[in-house]
A and B are shown apart, each in its own frame.
Chain A
Amino acid sequence: MEHAVLVSYLRWIVLLPLLGAAVNGIVGAAIQKRYGKGAISVIACTVVGLAFLFSLRAFLHLWGLPPEQRFLLDRLLYWIHIGDLNVDIAFWVDPLSAVMILIVTGIGGLIHVYAVGYMHEEESYWRFFTFLNLFTAAMLTLVLADNFLLMFVGWEGVGLCSYALIGFWYKEHANTSAGNKAFIVNRIGDAGFTLGVFTIFWGLGAAGHASAVFRDIVPYAHHLAEISVLGVPAATLAALFLFVGATGKSAQIPLYVWLPDAMAGPTPVSALIHAATMVTAGVYMMARLHFLFSLSPVALNVVATIGALTALFAATIGLAQNDIKRVLAYSTVSQLGYMVLGAGVGAFGAAIFHLMTHAFFKACLFLGAGSVIHAMGGEQDMRRMGGLKEKMPYTFWTFLISTAAIAGIPPLAGFFSKDEILWKVFASGHRALWVLGFLGAGLTAFYMSRQVFMVFFGECRADHHTRHHLHESPPVMTYPLLILAAGALFAGFLGVPAALGGSNRFEQWLEPVFAVGHGHGAHAVHHAVEPIEYLLMLVSVGIALAGIFLAYLMYYRGSLSPDLFSAAAGGKPYEWIYNKYYIDELYYATFVRLTFFFCWLGASFDRYVIDFIVDGAARVAAFLSWLNGWFDNLVIDGIVNAIADATFALGNRLRQVQTGNINLYLYVIVGAVVAVQFLPRLSSDILTTILFAVVVALIVIGGAAWVFARRPLWRPPVLRGGTTQSH
């Protein structure tokens, strides 16, 4: 790890699709209007193509290095350096991520080309390719990230683009609901992922080696097994949390429910995101953190069990579906179960191998299904298809090859990868899980053959109009099919196990990655070949052939009626698997309604408490202002008016002194003279004083009484002061 080669071209693998998304996103509508859809497709496909070339360069660069030094590092930006957290935007290529980026850019590029033809009549063409490029950029970020945070950025990015692309035809409510479901279920997984990251960081911090960068965690990860949280080792806790994230992304029990609904999106989306890339992010993450999982046998057991259960569970549901894409969706869930199962028994190399082969044949299957849907004018119900093999030869043959691959028929790719996983499961002692996987393989072969027979063989059950319009898809759609089918044919040879004389180059290539770290994750590639391996190989091929034969009898020859099985045991089992075991209904009745209850709670709180307080405050303010106005009117204006009134009243009275009566005037004059003359001369003579006082008092009192007792002769009109406005 210390000898990573510093390069500067890895960033283009991520930045080119990002640039394509930016250009198409910002000016795409204008470009499309001016230069047509061709310009959009050129931009979109070119950036992915160039990213593929850079990925190829990285791969070749890696190949040229000695195995223990196969690490490339490209530091792009200084990012977060706070306390113990030191992460940069840096891209890291080791053999594992080299495989992944080749898959993403290669198969992704082919799907881009296919989509040029498939989405040909879409008005929002530019929006589609914007999100497709953005998705590619996010997936590549996830794969190339050298630390948890950058990986999480990519992790969330693919979730977001998945939401945008599933709900691409947003005018239909069902599509947007499917997009919501995908995003929300993924978010639940992301919560687990985040908790896992926190646990690791905290655990390492407690051990003194806090870091979020993968290559720095590897040597110290064993500390996590020593630290315990509530009696559970931190390694187990972190692994389980991270696995919750993986179940969300990789559609395992219990968070798989979004994937079948995601078929509401355009078929290229289903191929890219839900077959080849996004759903594999969970498996990739577990492979990247294999050293952590290896520290916790408990976690590995949980992973393996859930993987096996999912593989069988989804396969049973796939038996009864009639929508061509639904079958493929459940098939994807099932195959992911195999990958997770492989990771769970420590066979990370085998899991990644199956990831690669599955990318080829599942993408081919989805694109083929898209080709069929395109030819049928939008029809997706297999019961209305049939006999298409003459009309659509390319589609038919590639579909057939891919079906054989997924069924596990040697020497196609699926055989080698699936068999490798099943052998590793058996060899690690999980016999019961092997049985589940084994049965699942049989069912897979059956329902995939059923699909082939129903769609391509027999009489065409479509109506007259559709039958006339049946035609093979244009080359832009069939060429990717051919390339992918070739991959389904030959990719398996990269991983031929020693038992069959091969050297399993694939696992050799990945060995340096998985040999690092402690625990029982490391498997010697060159193990001794045991006879039981051959037996198991034969048995799994056998059950696959049995499945195909059964489908042949039921859907081609018609000698065995499907009703026999659907009506078996009172029809109840069939009803159960047809209705997907009512899991969606169960989730709705519990979690969804619980969430709605909390929504209702929050809304009620907001309406009755918060609004009450706010309105109350407003009402208090209004009341205070009313009070203020009332006070102003009553008191302030009252004072002003009272002063005016007092002035008037006083004047009113006092002017009555002017009686016009001369006698009164003379009285007053005399009285005044008397007062003025004798007032200073209050003598010591009591009699005089008393007499004088009496006289003065008489005059004063008589005058005042006379003034104020007289009836006023005239009132002036009342003039009100103040600032009151007329109401």
Chain B
Amino acid sequence: MPMKAIIFYLLALLTVGSAAVVAFSRNIVYSAFSLLGTFMGVAGLYVLLAADFVAVIQVLIYVGGILVLIIFAVMLTHRIDDVAVSNRSVGRIPAAVIVVSVGVLMGTAIVSARWAQTANVRVAPTTAGIGDAFLGPYILPFELASVVLLVALIGAIVVSRKEIR
């Protein structure tokens, strides 16, 4: 079914393209906004992978939370007059070397490895199942994660407070 393939390739293009903009743009605001495209594309790919709940959470959390936060931070921290060159990069050559080599290595691994494929490819709503999993086998990490979030909350407040003398 080429439909699935075309959608996949479009979403993949969106994701990778946005990621490229994030990586190569010299404007921090451009990078921040193209991160949006990346997140959305990734959400779409989640849908293709029959992970409906995760896709929605992705959009909610990543786009609605983290991205907003990043944009807030960008707006709060960069000087207006330096917008053009606010996101320079240094040491591009060594980084490129490392990155390319890592990519090649992993790419070779991906392509040549015989991945285990299961026959049981289900495309079904997953929410109930995830819910059962959270309160079943994964209860402990779930609770710990809530603690982590609490700590993060408090920590963020503490760290970013201005010292009042």
With the chains together, A688 CA to B104 CA distance in Å?
Answer: 9
Contact B97 A698 (CB under 8 A): yes
Task: Kindly supply a per-residue 1/0 record for chain A positions 654-693, scoring 1 wherever the CB is within 8 Å of any chain B CB and 0 otherwise.
Answer: 0000000001000100110010001000000100100110
Q: Chain A residues with Cβ under 8 A from B95's Cβ?
A: 667
A695 within 8 Å of B by Cβ?
yes
Q: Chain A residues with Cβ under 8 A from B101's Cβ?
A: 691-692, 694-695
- Pick from B91, B94, B98, B104 the residue with the most CB of A within 10 Å: B98
Contact B98 A674 (CB under 8 A): yes
B83 within 8 Å of A by Cβ?
no
Question: Contacts A663-B90, A663-B91 hold; do A692 and B98 have CB atoms under 8 A apart?
Answer: no
Contact A691 B91 (CB under 8 A): no
Task: Kindly supply a per-residue 1/0 record for chain B positions 7-41, scoring 1 wherever the CB is within 8 Å of any chain A CB and 0 otherwise.
Answer: 00000000000000000000000000000000000
Q: Chain B residues with Cβ under 8 A from A558's Cβ?
A: none
Contact A691 B104 (CB under 8 A): yes
Q: Chain B residues with Cβ under 8 A from A678's Cβ?
A: 105
Q: Chain A residues with Cβ under 8 A from B90's Cβ?
A: 663
Q: Chain B residues with Cβ under 8 A from A674's Cβ?
A: 98, 102
Q: Which of A667, A691, A699 contacts B105 (CB 8 A)?
A: A691
Q: Determine the main DSSP class of B at the interface with A.
A: helix
Q: Chain B residues with Cβ under 8 A from A66's Cβ?
A: none
With the chains together, A674 CA to B98 CA distance in Å?
Answer: 9
Question: Contacts A663-B90, A663-B91 hold; do A695 and B108 have CB atoms under 8 A apart?
Answer: no
Question: Contacts A678-B105, A691-B104, A692-B105 hold; do A670 and B91 have CB atoms under 8 A apart?
Answer: no
A231 within 8 Å of B by Cβ?
no
With the chains together, A238 CA to B91 CA distance in Å?
Answer: 120
Contact B98 A695 (CB under 8 A): yes
Q: Determine the main DSSP class of A at the interface with B.
A: helix
Residue of A nearest to B112 (CB): A685
Within 8 A of A (CB), among B99-119: 101-102, 104-105, 108
A64 within 8 Å of B by Cβ?
no
Q: Which of A663, A671, A685 contacts B98 (CB 8 A)?
A: A671
Contact A702 B94 (CB under 8 A): yes
Residue of A nearest to B89 (CB): A663
With the chains together, A694 CA to B98 CA distance in Å?
Answer: 10
Residue of A nearest to B108 (CB): A688
Q: Chain B residues with Cβ under 8 A from A695's Cβ?
A: 97-98, 101-102
Q: Chain A residues with Cβ under 8 A from B97's Cβ?
A: 695, 698
With the chains together, A600 CA to B97 CA distance in Å?
Answer: 97
Residue of A nearest to B95 (CB): A667
Residue of A nearest to B91 (CB): A663
With the chains together, A699 CA to B101 CA distance in Å?
Answer: 12
With the chains together, A487 CA to B98 CA distance in Å?
Answer: 143
Q: Chain A residues with Cβ under 8 A from B98's Cβ?
A: 667, 670-671, 674, 695, 699
Q: Chain B residues with Cβ under 8 A from A699's Cβ?
A: 98
| Chain A nearest CB, measured from B51 CB (Å) | 26
Q: Chain B residues with Cβ under 8 A from A691's Cβ?
A: 101, 104-105
Q: Chain A residues with Cβ under 8 A from B91's Cβ?
A: 663, 667
| Chain B nearest CB, measured from A317 CB (Å) | 126
Q: Chain A residues with Cβ under 8 A from B108's Cβ?
A: 685, 688
With the chains together, A694 CA to B91 CA distance in Å?
Answer: 18
With the chains together, A562 CA to B121 CA distance in Å?
Answer: 172
Q: Chain A residues with Cβ under 8 A from B102's Cβ?
A: 670, 674, 695
| Chain A nearest CB, measured from B105 CB (Å) | 6
Within 8 A of A (CB), among B49-106: 90-91, 94-95, 97-98, 101-102, 104-105
Q: Chain B residues with Cβ under 8 A from A702's Cβ?
A: 94
With the chains together, A134 CA to B27 CA distance in Å?
Answer: 131
With the chains together, A497 CA to B108 CA distance in Å?
Answer: 158
Within 8 A of B (CB), among A679-724: 685, 688, 691-692, 694-695, 698-699, 702
Q: Chain B residues with Cβ under 8 A from A694's Cβ?
A: 101
| Chain B nearest CB, measured from A314 CB (Å) | 127
With the chains together, A689 CA to B161 CA distance in Å?
Answer: 50
| Chain B nearest CB, measured from A704 CB (Å) | 15
With the chains together, A674 CA to B102 CA distance in Å?
Answer: 8
With the chains together, A692 CA to B97 CA distance in Å?
Answer: 12
Q: Chain B residues with Cβ under 8 A from A663's Cβ?
A: 90-91
With the chains together, A667 CA to B90 CA distance in Å?
Answer: 12
Residue of A nearest to B101 (CB): A695
Residue of B nearest to A685 (CB): B108
With the chains together, A699 CA to B95 CA distance in Å?
Answer: 11
| Chain B nearest CB, measured from A241 CB (Å) | 115
| Chain B nearest CB, measured from A230 CB (Å) | 113
With the chains together, A472 CA to B144 CA distance in Å?
Answer: 143
With the chains together, A486 CA to B91 CA distance in Å?
Answer: 143
Within 8 A of B (CB), among A206-229: none
| Chain A nearest CB, measured from B91 CB (Å) | 6
Residue of B nearest to A670 (CB): B98
Q: Chain B residues with Cβ under 8 A from A671's Cβ?
A: 98
| Chain B nearest CB, measured from A80 CB (Å) | 109
Contact B94 A688 (CB under 8 A): no
Task: Kindly supply a per-residue 1/0 record for chain A positions 331-344, scoring 1 wherever the CB is within 8 Å of any chain B CB and 0 otherwise.
Answer: 00000000000000
Within 8 A of A (CB), among B142-156: none
| Chain A nearest CB, measured from B89 CB (Å) | 9
7 chain-A/chain-B pairs, Cβ below 8 angstroms: A667-B95, A670-B98, A671-B98, A688-B108, A695-B101, A698-B97, A702-B94
| Known A670-B102, A692-B105, A695-B102; further 9 A-B contacts with Cβ < 8 A | A663-B90, A663-B91, A667-B98, A674-B102, A691-B101, A691-B105, A694-B101, A695-B101, A698-B94
- Which residues of A pack against B, CB within 8 Å? 663, 667, 670-671, 674, 678, 685, 688, 691-692, 694-695, 698-699, 702
